[in-house]
Amino acid sequence: MKTISRRAALGLAAAMLMVGSVGAVQAAALVQVSLWDKGASAEMPTGLAYATPGLDLTKATMGIKVSPGAVKAGEVTFNVKNDSKDTVHEMIVMYMADPTKPLPYVDAEKRVDEDKAGDKGEVSELDPGKSGTLTVELKAGKYLLICNVPGHFGAGMWAEFTVDP
């Protein structure tokens, strides 16, 4: 049986700890996202877009649940599931340059102008029951996760998300 010196064993243990801690630092934050609605037959309300005066989200028939609602800056992986039984949804990560202002909206198309809004990535058009993943590098700040299928954002399908320094 071969033996190694105490010094070699300590060196090996230190190297293993360093590799383990580097791996932990580099691991992406994991965020679970559920895209939900009350069914295609439910009447889709309007006027529930982010930053709308007098916003009453209790009237929403669709939305986005996110857990956790905040992570540290760096690589973030979003595991997105469309929990709808009959409606296609998507999830787009939007950086909020000014969280007090609404996102640029195109009324005629009933959707957010993604190019002007600060789109950081998306899991696009998930069929009911399907899942997708998005990994992005995010800096500290306020973000909004939205569904930009026409009418869905205005019906309340968005969630605030924070990235801490």
How do residues 80-91 score in pLDDT, each as one tens digit? 999 999 999 999
pLDDT at 78: 98
pLDDT at 99: 86
Q: Who has greater pLDDT, 147 or 10? A: 147
pLDDT at 23: 45
Residue percentage of the chain with pLDDT more than 70: 84
pLDDT tens, 37-74? 999 999 999 899 998 888 899 999 999 999 999 999 99
pLDDT at 118: 84
pLDDT tens, 2-31? 444 445 444 544 444 444 444 445 588 999
CB atoms within 10 A of CB 111: 19
Spatial neighbors of 53 by CB under 8 A, at least 6 apart, are none
Spatial neighbors of 117 by CB under 8 A, at least 6 apart, are 94, 103, 104
Angle (CA) 62 91 56, round 5°: 35
Please report the domains of the chain, with CATH numbers, ordered by start residue. Answer: 29-163 (2.60.40.420)
pLDDT at 8: 47
| This prediction's pTM | 0.82
Q: Who has greater pLDDT, 1 or 134? A: 134
